Amino acid sequence: MTNLASIKAGTGGGFHPASAPDYLPDAQLRDLQTQRLKRIVKQAYDNVALYRRRMEELNVTPDDIHSIDDVVKLPFTNKSDLRDNYPFGLFAAPMNEIVRVHASSGTTGKPTVVAYTREDIDVWSNSMVRAFACYGMHSGDIIQNAYGYGLFTGGLGAHYGGEALGATVIPISGGNTDRQIMIMKDFSVTAICCTPSYFLHVLERAQEMGVDIHDLPLRAGVFGAEPWTESMRDRIEAMSGIKAYDIYGLSEIIGPGVGAECQAQDGLHLFEDHFYPEIVNPETGEPCQPGEEGELVLTTLSKMAMPMLRYRTHDITCIYPETCSCGRGIRRIRRIGRRSDDMFIIRGVNVFPSQVETALLAVEETMPHYQIILDREKGLDRMEVQVEVTADVFSDKVRALEGLQNKLAKSLEHTLGIHANVRLVEPHTIERSQGKARRVIDRREM
């Protein structure tokens, strides 16, 4: 049995074989990327009508791909392409080879569906192993996986990765904070996977329960599925004595495990032998200069069930030109602070302003003017929806207006799956620019 001090220090582990590609010499990495790009472009072109049509429009065939640099010849893919081809239109493998599907958390309209062959699941698990290894985790770790299990990729992604690492996985899923704390303590958990804001909530609850995380073997947090900041990391680390690590991923590409911080905690390494990154100008789609900030575009080099060619993530970041002190050769991106579209992430849930609009209109068809204010209080994201009062809904009775507020809040919670405060405001007070209101004000410090 290892003692607490050595567990806390994260020693006792070692190099995991899955991490080998992290350290490939540049030329070898490029060879691998080229080889894989050729294969995946052929897979996409031969099996997906959309890709074939788009490539034909650009006069490109799989034969035009000679090196990884030729990725720029390929057409972009957008989230709307997934929606337009719902549910299975972008699958490149026959159903008898597809062993799993996941879907986005979108609760209105159609979700976006993604698929995996057995080989894809292995690629995914492997990437998660490499992420865990980046954090210094290893066989013998006890992982409390508090990401949600289900259609969301977070739960199962971390679960398979943890098992493949050789760790012990506790599939506790999200929620029931008191039980989370009890299990963390009683099962000698060494690492936890959840959203950073949920972990802050866990910490606050633990304090109330008289549990000091410093006294537990817990040493690493795998935090993702929502944007967070350095100051939040500082808070978490000071309150708990653990190391708080960022993880990057998106279901369209594979799920969590596209990129991960290493123990240097300075940018996220992308597992670029599977997920090839480009940074482009979000307006023009033109490639950015090395080190320049832009939109991250990813091409899946290995995923057979549903290849993604030059997928526009809408995540704004840059690729660090320098190599990392940890010795990994794979490149790093700056942690994601903002997005180029109007979608925002709150407490791990993707929200589009259009969903908010739908929820408001479901209650009262005559309240078209609203604004979403995002804030962070004590590390927890809060969402307030301000709605302009109209003569149709206005009443001289306080009770009636409070009733309206409650109905709107309920409708929002029902549609989005998260709680939002509703504030009624005077007409014409919500800022309009060029006739169109600015829908989202994000005051969270990024």
Partner 1 sequence: MKLKQLSLFLENRPGQLVQAAQALKEAGVNILTLSLADTEQFGILRLIVSDWEKGKRALEAHQCVVNAADVAALEVSDRPGGLAEILGIIEECGINIEYMYAFTFGRDGKAILIFRFEEVDEAIAKLQARNVNVIGSVELFELSGGR
Give the separation between CA 281 and CA 163, rounded to whole angstroms.
39
Q: Closest separation between CB of residue 387 and partner 1, Å? A: 11
Amino acid identity of residue 134, one-letter, is C
Nearest to 195 by CA among 163, 148, 235, 149: 148
Q: Of 93, 118, 112, nearest to 42 (Cα)?
A: 93
The packing angle between helices 26-47 and 49-57, to 10°, is: 110
Q: Is 389 in the site for partner 1 (CB under 8 A)?
A: yes
Report the nearest approach of partner 1 to the CB of residue 376 (Å): 20
| Least distance (Å) between residue 433 CB and partner 1 | 18
Helical spans, DSSP H, in 187-271: 196-208, 230-240
Q: How far is the CB of 366 from partner 1 (least distance, A)?
A: 12
Task: For residue 82, give the H/E element and its range.
Answer: helix 79-84
Q: Which stretch binds partner 1 (CB under 8 A): 101-109, 151-159, 228-236, 423-431?
A: 423-431
Among 100, 423, 430, 437, binds partner 1 (CB under 8 A): 423
Contact residue for partner 1 among 427, 432, 443, 445 (CB under 8 A): 427
Rounded distance between C-alpha atoms, residue 80 and residue 86, angstroms: 10
Cβ 442 to partner 1, closest distance in Å? 21
Q: Does 395 bind partner 1 (CB under 8 A)?
A: yes
User: Quick check: 396 binds partner 1 (CB under 8 A)?
Assistant: yes
Instruction: Looking at 209-326, list the stretches that DSSP marks H as alpha helix, in order from N- to C-terminal side.
Output: 230-240
Q: What is the C-alpha end-to-end distance of the chain, expressed in Å? A: 41
Give the nearer residue to partner 1 in terms of CB position, either 286 or 426. 426
Q: In the set 429, 432, 443, 445, which binds partner 1 (CB under 8 A)?
A: 429
Q: Does 5 contact partner 1 by CB under 8 A? A: no
Using CB under 8 A, which of 3, 238, 398, 436 touches partner 1? Answer: 398
# chain residues binding partner 1, by CB under 8 A: 18
**Cβ distance to partner 1 smaller for residue 397 or 436:** 397
Give the contacts of 72 (CB within 8 A, at least 6 positions apart).
278, 287
> What are the start-end ranges of the E strands in 220-310?
220-223, 243-250, 255-261, 268-270, 275-280, 294-300
Determine the interface stretch with partner 1 among 35-43, 163-171, 273-281, 386-394 (rule: CB under 8 A): 386-394
DSSP 386-433: EEE--TTT--S-HHHHHHHHHHHHHHHHHHHSS--EEEEE-TT-S-EE
b or e along 53-69 (b: 16 or more beta carbons within 10 Å of the residue's beta carbon)?
ebbeeeebebeebeebe
Q: What is the smallest separation between the CB atom of 410 and partner 1, expressed in angstroms?
A: 17
Is residue 292 at the binding interface for partner 1, with CB under 8 A as the rule? no
x/- binding map, residues 399-418, to partner 1, per CB under 8 A? Answer: --xx--x-------------
Least separation, in Å, of the C-beta of 412 and partner 1? 16
Which residues of the shown chain bind partner 1 in the complex (CB under 8 A)?
389-391, 394-398, 401-402, 405, 423-429
